[in-house]
Structures are given as structure tokens and as C-alpha cells.
Amino acid sequence: MTISYAPLEGITNWAFRALHHKMFSGVDSYYTPFWTPTVDSPLAGRGLTDMLPENNQGIPVVPQLLTNQAEAFLPAARLLQDMGYREVNLNLGCPSGTVFSKKRGSGFLTQPQEMDRFFDQIFSADLDIKISVKTRVGAESPEEWAAILDIYNRYPIHELTIHPRVRKDFYKGEVRMETFRYAVEQARMPLCYNGDLNSAQDCRDFAAAFPTIQHVMAGRGLVANPALARELKGGPALTQEELHTFHDLLFEDYRQRLFGPRPVLGKMKEIWFYMGSMFQGAEKPLKAIRKAKNLDDYTHAAQALFRDASLIPGGKFVQDP
Ligand SMILES: Cc1cc2nc3c(=O)[nH]c(=O)nc-3n(C[C@H](O)[C@H](O)[C@H](O)COP(=O)(O)O)c2cc1C
């Protein structure tokens, strides 16, 4: 089974991926967070920095684009192809309000005719890069899924990653495994499963239930437990010491590279939203981390956490109900 690191906008930027790849084995590929190309500017700013080959040396990366315009997708895909990428991923799952209302991400799923035309254009273009898709199973209801899959089935999609939730679910509630099973029966392209695989055991349970699926993708579970993929491949479990080192190196990198304490604090606090589930006895320092207003407060709180709290044996990311 191969396992990929899911794209997490705001978290898995190039520096995060490089540090993760250096410290933890097991992840077969990393998907970049989405970049929205425009016709005039296919790749710029944060997206360009994130996808530049020199920032991703030695790391297996799949860049991801978010658009509903073939005229914007194609120049970006060509640039990525020229940079040496073999695959580009199209985001058809993002549930965020602005993305959805612009009919991109999961919003495009509500426009079957436009989506069909978009695929027709991108798959008939002269491109030498594989196109994969990451999708939800609908916007409002999983009843939309059969029609959406029908469209996908008409095109040579390299791989279809399915997060079996609808847009309305955002990232909560049970994953809709019956909808995924329908895809396993009906899809004409290779599938990758994504959703709530928060431990190596979760991945093994999934593999037992869906033995024909060779590829899975994990996001939040890997932020909480950066050694998840290593464990899945038979390697050792996460230790508190290495999580501490990972944390300190990431914090240091953000302090050097980001402008001012505010973005550094924002990024570090977000990671604790996931990593916090790994610890017992961490309520007080976690609260202090959430409340930290400057880098000194933050440093003290994080130090207290690594000193006073301990990893839960077999711990994993647990979502608040
Ligand atoms: C903070 C956050 C940012 C995300 N950013 C992206 C993104 O840029 N592109 C994408 O396809 N999915 C994005 N996702 C969705 C994840 O890739 C993944 O599909 C989702 O978290 C479910 O998988 P998991 O249960 O393993 O985390 C994001 C999710 C979260 C929570």
C-alpha cells in the first residue's frame, strides 16, 4: 500500500514538507495545497514558491491546482510539466465558502455540463503530464455521486482520490463508505482513498475492507502523528523526543522566514489543534498555547507541554464531536 500526505492549505507548505520528509520516512508522495491559476498568471507568489523544484528537491511532490477554467488550467499545467513534474492534481473538493460560491473545488460538482466541457478541453490539449483529480462525492447529497462519477469515467483521469464526504459535511461526521464502495465497483480509473485515516491501524482496517485499493492519503492524522506512514510501513512508533525536535525545527524555520510573530503564532497554533490529541495531561499547556500573544509566551507554553505531558500510547488525531 502506498500512502500520500494530503494537501493541507496553511499547513503543508514546502518548508513543512521538507522537514517532514527529512525526519520521517514512509510517505510516498506529498500533494501541495491548492494554487488557483489565472489566465494571465498561471503560477505566482505563494503557489510558485511552493512548487518550485529547488524548494522540493528530493521530495516526491504532486502539485495541485484549483480552477474551473481550462484556459487557466492548461498554462499552469504546462509550466509544471516544464518544471519536471509528472502529475498535476485538480481540486474538486474544497468546501470553503468563497471557493464554493465561485463554482470551484466542490462548487464545480454542481455544474456537471461545465465540468464535462472543462474535462473535454484539458484532456484533448497537447499536454505531457498526467492529470489526477481529488474529489468529494457531491455538494448537498451523496445521491449526486453516480452522475459525477459518470463524467469522470469518460476521461483518462490518471487517478481519482475520493474523500467520501459531501461539501455540506465539510470535514465532520462519518465518511460515507457506501458511496466510496460504489466508486470501487463503478470507477474506470485507479482510486485513492482519503478520509479519517488517523493511525496505521486505521489504514490496515481500510485495506482489509477494500483490498483492491492500493493507495491512501492522510492529512490531519499525519499532522498529529508525523510517524503514521512510517508505522504503517513497519517502522517504529512516534517518540516524544522526535516530535519535540520536529516542533522546534519547524518553529525555528517559521521564525526565520515569516514576517513577524503573528503568522508564526498562527501556524504553530494550528498544528497544535491536531498534535494536541496525541498527549495526555496537556490541557493546561494547550490552553496556554492557544492564548499565547507573543513568541515568548508561546515558547514557554510549548516547553511546558513537552516537559509535563506525555504521548498517549497508540494516540491519534481525534475530532471534536
Ligand atoms: C486545514 C485544511 C486545509 C486543507 N487544504 C486542502 C487543499 O489545499 N487541497 C485539498 O485538496 N484538500 C485540502 N484539505 C482536505 C484534505 O486534503 C483532506 O482531504 C481532508 O483533511 C480529509 O482527510 P484526513 O481525514 O486524512 O485529514 C484541507 C483540509 C484541512 C483540514
Q: Show me where the domains of the chain are located.
A: 2-232, 240-311
In degrees and rounded to multiples of 5, residue 130 shows phi and psi of -70, 145
Grid cell 467520501 in the structure block, residue: 164
- Please give the average pLDDT of every successive group of 10 residues along the chain, which has 321 residues: 98 98 98 98 97 98 98 98 98 98 98 98 98 98 98 98 98 97 98 98 98 98 98 98 98 96 98 98 98 98 98 94 72
pLDDT of residue 320: 81
- At the topology level of CATH, where does 2-232 sit? TIM Barrel (3.20.20)
Q: Whose CA is nearest to atom 14 of ligand 1?
A: 8
Q: What cell numbers appear for 9 in the block? A: 492549505
Distance CA 134, CA 129 (A): 16
Beta partners for residue 191, in sequence order: 160
Residues with CB under 6 Å of ligand 1 are 6-11, 33-34, 64, 91, 93-94, 134, 163, 171, 194-197, 218-221
> Across the chain, how many H-helices and E-strands are there?
14, 10
Q: Is-contact 130 161, C-beta < 8 A?
A: no
Atom of ligand 1 nearest to the CA of 33: 8
Q: Choose which residue among 5, 9, 29, 104 to substitute to test ligand 1 binding: the one with the highest number of ligand atoms within 8 A of its C-beta.
A: 9
Type and span of the H or E element at 232: helix 228-232
219 Cα–ligand 1 center, Å: 6
In degrees and rounded to multiples of 5, residue 64 shows phi and psi of -120, 135
Amino acid, res. 128: D
Does this model's pTM top 0.85? My answer is yes
Atom of ligand 1 nearest to the CA of 89: 11
Q: Choose which residue among 3, 4, 5, 8 to substitute to test ligand 1 binding: the one with the highest number of ligand atoms within 8 A of its C-beta.
A: 8
Q: What cell numbers appear for 186 in the block? A: 463503478
